[in-house]
Structures are given as structure tokens and as C-alpha cells.
Structure 1
Amino acid sequence: MSAEQPQAVYHKRKHAARTTDEYLFHQLVPYLGNKRRLLHLILEALEMTGTLNPDYQQKRAPIFADFFAGSGVVSRLARQNGYRVIANDWEPYSHALNHAVLANTVAPEFKQLGGYQKAIDYLNRLPLAKGWVTHNLCPRNDEEYDPAKDRLFFKRRNGMRIDAIRQQIAIWQSEGAIDDVEMSALLAPLLYSASFVSNTSGVFKSFHHGWGGKTQTALERIESLLWLTPSRFSDKGDLKQPMAEMWCVDAQHLANQMSHFEVDVAYLDPPYNQHAYSSNYHVLNSLTLWDQLDLPSPDTKGFKSGIDRAWRKERPSLYNSSKYAKDAYEKLLETVNARFILTSYSTDGNISATDLLKANLARGKVTLLTQDVPRYRVSKQRQSERARVLEFIVITDTHAKSGPPLRQLLAQLYHYAELGGVDTSGVSSQLALW
């Protein structure tokens, strides 16, 4: 076991994304489905595969393919434990967040700008500038606003700082002063900082109708000055070659492209429910692409949050649909070429535990790891009849065919759900069928 592995246990105060220096947790955007609280379980799953064994890694670094990378925290875990990473997510902001911090063992050189820190310092010193963010995502007046006619994603000062910084990054890119990795090393801190000062509960599908919401518990964060700090990098790996390969495509497309060679570990963490990430994080996509779309005014029907129609209609994943999620997952699982396939899922997801397990049993021997966790709530004031859900990891060894049957695996889920105070009605009804 490496010396860094204990960091996989997340501590809220110690590993606050804004203040920690630890690579694994530094500047992680607040993200639905973020696996930072389950990293110890994922690490346990990796240990069970044997791919963490020094003897296994002696000849070459094992390959870890993350098909739904999101915030990138699981790929970071793989990076710092010696894997070469293939990280994919079809949301552009994910590519921006992850490219530099996964591929590099040290900060990019920024030769034309005098180094990474100097580039960050220059951006932080820029004068305020009114641009797309200020006009579209900020109110006309911070003190006298109308939630029906204004968008309140950012205070105007921070909106103007985002505009100034993002426009300067675009200028450097157009002049050839930065390459793609350096671009990511600048965008990642900007996206994190914009998320931190946003007048939201972590997602951009809506904003608080007043600074800090009804309780104003987040007012200090929202009113703080947007400020960039450099990303952190893992020194694990070869300094002479990138330790990660980045993709920004549909997961099925990536599986098709990679079907001719076997990776050591494939990690699947598809969306669980109907909420599309393209809508939840449309502001981060806009800052990444910097397409500066003309948005209708906030009082235009259907455009309160400024979500472009293309993000709403064309970008939802098949996994967001209870009708299509099962078939999409089965097709992906059939295509993925890996010795071990790890799937993170929940008893609260669009795919039933029975269907998920049956699909994996068709690929090989299945083992389960489980942990009950609090159900996500946008507001602490909103209570749920089912306060907890059961998260589980399906570990499938595609080179082994004998293992626990479906009924035994379902019984295991039911047992741990009951122990964790999780609603067991869905699992118990499936268990009764078997």
C-alpha cells in the first residue's frame, strides 16, 4: 500500500476544496454524485482487483479508464496510486477541469508567460471588465434587483472579474501563448472559483432568489472576492510522458474506440437519475466554451436560468431516462474491454439492482461493496422520508465466471440496506422475484 492511500478517507474540515493542499481533494467543484466520500470504498475495490499490487505494477503502470469522469476525483485517486488514466466525460467543463491535473506530474511550463504562478498572478490583477457574464448572469444592480427580471448567479464585481479573466485566457489562446494543457491549468481554477462564489447550492439549474437564499448561510462565500490559486499535481508517474489521456465523448463511443485492447480497470459511474449534468452545470460549460451565446432575458418563458435550448434538448444522457438507462448500460457493459469492471451505482437509480447485477453476471464473477450515505438535498430545510440511500460498487472480474448467484447478491444488498436504515422496498420486491 502506498503512503498516499490513506488520503482516500475524506474529512470535511481537513479536505475542504478551497483550503486543502492535498492533490486528491484540492479545488474539487461541488458536484452531484461526487465520489469523494466513497473514495475509500473505491480504493478497497481496486485493492480487491490486485492491480495495486507492486508485483502487478512492476512491468508497467496499469491502465484505469474512467468513462464518466465528472469532477475527476476518482481519476485523481487512480493517478496517485500509480495508474495511467484514460479519463472521459462528454461535458466540456469536465475536460477543462481534469486535463492538466491528471496528465501532468508538475505544473505546465507557461514559457511565454513566465511560468504558471506568474500567469495566475496576472489574471488576478486584471481590472474589472463588463462582458457576457456580467450582462447575462448578474443583476443590473446588486442592491436593487428583481428576481423575476434579473439573474442572480454572481455579484457584479465577481461577474466582471470572471469576464476579465476568461477574456484574457481567450486572448492568450488565440495568440498561441498557451497550449491545451496550459489552457486547462487556467480554466480549472476559474471554474472552481466561479462555483465557489456563485449564488447557488452547487448547481446552476437555478439561483437563490436573494443573496445567500432564505437563510443567508452562504452569504460570506457568495460575497467573497473571486480569486484564482494554482492547481495541484500528482508527482506519481513518468515525468517524460503524460500520465493521462483525455476524451470528451459519449461513453459508448469511447468504449467502441477502445474495444481492440484490454485495459486493467474500467470504472463506470453513469448518471443515476433524470437530472442532466448539461443543465445543472451549464454555466461551467459556457465559461469553458466561451461561446457567449445570446440569451433571452430572464423573464422570457423557459429561460429563467439561462440554459440554452441545445443543452436541455440535445445533451441529456440516456442514463437520465428510466426508459433508456438499462439498455444503454447493458450495451456499454458488453462493449467495454477490461479485465476488471467497476460500476458505482445506487439503490435509488434509474436502473434496478436486478438488471444491473444480471448484466454484470453475464460478463464474469461479481463481488459487491456497499455503503449507506445521506440522500442529497439541495437545502437542509427540505427533509426526506427516505433520508439515506445505499451506494454500492459492483466489481466484475471478466476473466472469472464462477461466483455468487443473483439471489445471493440481491440478499447482500438488502441486508446492508436494512443495516443502514435505507428504504428496502425496491430491493426486497426484486429479491422476492428470485
Structure 2
Amino acid sequence: MRTPGLPHIPRLNYEKNSYLCIGKSNLNAKVRYIGSKRLLVDFIGEAIAAHAPDVRSVSDVFAGSGVVSGYLLNNGYDTISNDILYFSYVLSRGTHGIHGKPRFEKLGIKDPVEYLNNLKAEDSPFSPTEFFITNNYSPSDTCSRMYFQPKNAVKIDIIRLTIEQWKRRDLINDDEYYYLLAALLHAIPYVANITGVYAAYLKHWDKRTYNDLTLTHHSIIEEERNCTCYNQDYRDIIQLPADMLYADPPYNERDYSPNYHILETIARYDYPQISGVTGLRPYSEIKSPFCSKRTVTEAFENLISGANARHIMISYNNESLLPSATLEELCRAYAAEDSFKLLTRPYRRYKNKIPNNSVGLEEELFLFVKK
């Protein structure tokens, strides 16, 4: 990829860095994510406070959009936030993984988010052949996929390439890099032609796709509590010491990777070899053992036995791949005497934005002290 000169920097009429918000992280609560715990974080927090009051640090090994990690950090816990998907790592690293507010002093742009929003295709120093999203996920003479309107696909490419160019030129540090990438990922769902996930696109243009892609600033947490973010296999992260291991693995046979392949590609921007009607990136090497009936029991046993934590909390539900009774039996085998608790809360199932209030769906927390 060539590295042409930076485009002209527009003049902005407000104080440098006046846009930065320090406080409770709110970005990832808005990211649509399968199995998101956005509506259940209070349930999780109350369970920890009531049944594991000595816990000061929590390792969230399937962090997803980072909602639970952010909630725990906001409530005074040191956290480890991990996910094998890179876009999930970016969401966490670019919000509650930032240590100190980004200042962008070396870049010399008063508001990089506003600057990125104002980039125009005609001013771009990049070649159209470099526009991976435009060339593969927006309709043209050579592409039939309808994930993005052409105007937004081009904007995604230009913004992503610009952020990467700034990083390569050492104009932004790691915190600033991930802050901007998280802002870009957060903006994608508001212009994507999907029903909720990216496994398929709509065959007609949803009204949201006509909006202009717009990055916004998100708040970060600048407190003494620490959040360390990882992009690794959970089997490596469970070995790290923490007071509590919190695990929210996949619940069924639908692996997360194909459902978020577009976000993963935008985050990595690695020009993958894609295939199929929807342009899937390869993901065979990161398929989850929790998504197969053949391997799910062993996966849970390895998770629990390998955890370097006194307290274990597992989020699951009563319609998951592994029956609740089987998971309870497994947890009890590793639980100290009289420490096991199963906490439940009714939960609504959502499908294509339409709530399904079928009786019986419950979120379950398996909580125990490891013997």
C-alpha cells in the first residue's frame, strides 16, 4: 500500500481537545451484539456484590462488545477484557482500555473525529483500488453485494486508511489509534444494510443506509482502576490471575465470526481472501468449541479447570447448546462445598427487532468458588 502525503487539514474554530469526555464509558452499550449483556449488567453486578464481596478484579474472557467489562470498571473493579475477534478487542481497547485521555498533540489536528468526518473522496490521496469495502461490499459494475451505499463505503475506506496512515507515520499513539478505530466501528451499524448482524445483507435499501456515515466522540474512564485488553484465545487468558473469572461463551451453534465479518475486516483492514454471496473472510482457525455439541462439554471443563481464579461466574441460558443441568453438574464438580449458586432472570428473545416473549427463556448465572 502506498503512503501518499496527508490531505489538507481544515481549520477548526473550537478549543483544542475540548470535545473529549471523561467519565462513564458509553460507546459499546450501543453496539448491536448477539448475546449482549447490556440489559443484564445490573443483574451481574448485583450477583458479584451479594455472593462474592471479596472480589476486586474480574477477567472477562469473552468480552464481545465490552459491555460487562465497562460496567465492572465503572463500578470499581480492575478488569481483564479479552476477545478473539479483533473488532471486539478494538471496541474495548478504544474505550475503557485507554489510560489517560487522547490529546492528539503530535497529529496537530484539533478534532481528528471532525476532520475524518469531513474527508472527501476527491481529496483522498488513496487509490480507489485500495478501497476494500467499496470494491467488495457496495454495489457496482463488479460487485452485487448491498452492505453499504457507495457514498458510505467510500467514506469507510478513506477514514480507515487515513487512521492507519497516521499510525504508520507515528502521528498518533496506540490509545489515539484505538480511540479512532472504535469511533469508526461504532458508526458502522447506523449505515449498514442489515437486520442486526452481518451474516447477510438486505435485498432492498433500508432507510438508515441513506444516512451519512458520521463518527462521534465517546466517553472514556480516567480513574485509578485498571483495564487490560487482550485479543487472544480464551485458553491463554484464563491462566492470568484474577479474583473472578467471568465467562460469557457462545450459547449455540452459530459462531460469532461470520455474523460480524464486516466489522472484523474493517477493524483489521487486512485485505482478506473472501468468498460466498456475503463475502465472508476465513474464520476456520478461530471457530469456537462452544459452538459444537461434540466439543462444548469439554470446552466448559477446560475453561473451569484452567481458570486461575477463586470465583467463577458463567453466563448462559436455559435454551443453550449445553443443557443447564449438565453445566450445573460440571460446575458442582469443581465447586467448593456449599458455594454453588444458580441465579436466573427472565429474558426476552429478540429476532429481527421483533420481541418474542416466549415463556421460559431465562438468563442464568452459574456462580461458585473453585475448590
Kindly indicate whether the alpha-carbon contact (under 8 Å) linking 1:79 and 1:236 is maintained by their aligned counterparts in 2. Answer: no
Q: CA deviation at 1:94?
A: 0.8
Residue in structure 2 matching 1:235, options 222, 238, 250: 222
Helix, strand or coil at the partner of 1:393: strand
1:297-317, CA deviations, whole angstroms, 9 ceiling, x for partnerless residues? xxxxxx111002x22x33220
Q: CA deviation at 1:42?
A: 0.5
Answering whether residue 46 of structure 2 is matched by residue 74 of structure 1, we say: no
Across the aligned residues of Structure 1 and Structure 2, the Cα RMSD in angstroms comes to 2.3
Kindly indicate whether the alpha-carbon contact (under 8 Å) linking 1:374 and 1:388 is maintained by their aligned counterparts in 2. Answer: no
What corresponds to 1:264 in structure 2? 243
Q: CA deviation at 1:67?
A: 0.6
What corresponds to 1:391 in structure 2? 363
User: Where in structure 1 are there 5+ consecutive unaligned residues?
Assistant: 1-19, 213-218, 297-302, 400-434
Q: Percent identity?
A: 29
Kindly indicate whether the alpha-carbon contact (under 8 Å) linking 1:82 and 1:236 is maintained by their aligned counterparts in 2. Answer: no
What corresponds to 1:318 in structure 2? 289
Q: Which amino acid aligns with 2:243?
A: D
Q: Which amino acid aligns with 2:250?
A: P
Helix, strand or coil at the partner of 1:111: coil
Q: CA deviation at 1:293?
A: 2.7
Helix, strand or coil at the partner of 1:86: strand
Q: Which amino acid aligns with 2:62?
A: F
What corresponds to 1:374 in structure 2? 348
CA distance in 2, matches of 1:21, 1:140: 42
Q: CA deviation at 1:21?
A: 10
Q: CA deviation at 1:63?
A: 1.4
Kindly indicate whether the alpha-carbon contact (under 8 Å) linking 1:105 and 1:237 is maintained by their aligned counterparts in 2. Answer: no
CA distance in 2, matches of 1:49, 1:181: 35
What corresponds to 1:23 in structure 2? 24
Change in CA separation of 1:335 and 1:126 when aligned onto 2, cut-off 3 Å: same
1:40-66, CA deviations, whole angstroms, 9 ceiling, x for partnerless residues? 110111112343xxxx58xxxx21100
Answering whether residue 211 of structure 2 is matched by residue 224 of structure 1, we say: yes
What corresponds to 1:121 in structure 2? 114
Map residues 96-245 of structure 1 onto 2, 5 A cutoff. 96-104=90-98, 106-114=100-108, 118-128=111-121, 130=128, 131-140=131-140, 150-212=144-206, 219=207, 221-237=208-224, 243-245=226-228
Q: CA deviation at 1:288?
A: 1.0
CA distance in 2, matches of 1:321, 1:363: 23
CA distance in 2, matches of 1:253, 1:362: 23
Residue in structure 1 matching 2:270, options 280, 291, 315: 291
Q: CA deviation at 1:206?
A: 0.2
Residue in structure 2 matching 1:255, options 238, 250, 267: 238
CA distance in 2, matches of 1:352, 1:279: 25
CA distance in 2, matches of 1:353, 1:127: 53
Residue in structure 2 matching 1:276, options 226, 251, 255: 255
Q: CA deviation at 1:164?
A: 0.7
Q: CA deviation at 1:374?
A: 1.7
Kindly indicate whether the alpha-carbon contact (under 8 Å) linking 1:96 and 1:288 is maintained by their aligned counterparts in 2. Answer: yes
Answering whether residue 355 of structure 2 is matched by residue 355 of structure 1, we say: no
What corresponds to 1:6 in structure 2? none
Change in CA separation of 1:109 and 1:24 when aligned onto 2, cut-off 3 Å: closer
User: Where in structure 2 are there 5+ consecutive unaligned residues?
Assistant: 1-20
Q: How many residues align?
A: 340
CA distance in 2, matches of 1:193, 1:351: 35
Kindly indicate whether the alpha-carbon contact (under 8 Å) linking 1:126 and 1:165 is maintained by their aligned counterparts in 2. Answer: yes
What corresponds to 1:305 in structure 2? 278
Q: CA deviation at 1:386?
A: 4.4
Kindly indicate whether the alpha-carbon contact (under 8 Å) linking 1:341 and 1:395 is maintained by their aligned counterparts in 2. Answer: yes
Kindly indicate whether the alpha-carbon contact (under 8 Å) linking 1:286 and 1:292 is maintained by their aligned counterparts in 2. Answer: yes
Change in CA separation of 1:101 and 1:348 when aligned onto 2, cut-off 3 Å: same
CA distance in 1, matches of 2:359, 2:209: 28
Helix, strand or coil at the partner of 1:340: strand
CA distance in 2, matches of 1:210, 1:387: 33
CA distance in 2, matches of 1:90, 1:22: 27
Q: CA deviation at 1:230?
A: 1.6
Q: CA deviation at 1:327?
A: 0.8
Q: CA deviation at 1:73?
A: 0.3
Q: Which amino acid aligns with 1:126?
A: L
Kindly indicate whether the alpha-carbon contact (under 8 Å) linking 1:255 and 1:337 is maintained by their aligned counterparts in 2. Answer: yes
Task: State TM-score, norm by structure 2.
Answer: 0.85
1:124-150, CA deviations, whole angstroms, 9 ceiling, x for partnerless residues? 111126411111111128xxxx9xx61
Helix, strand or coil at the partner of 1:201: coil
Q: Which amino acid aligns with 2:345?
A: Q
Q: CA deviation at 1:321?
A: 0.7
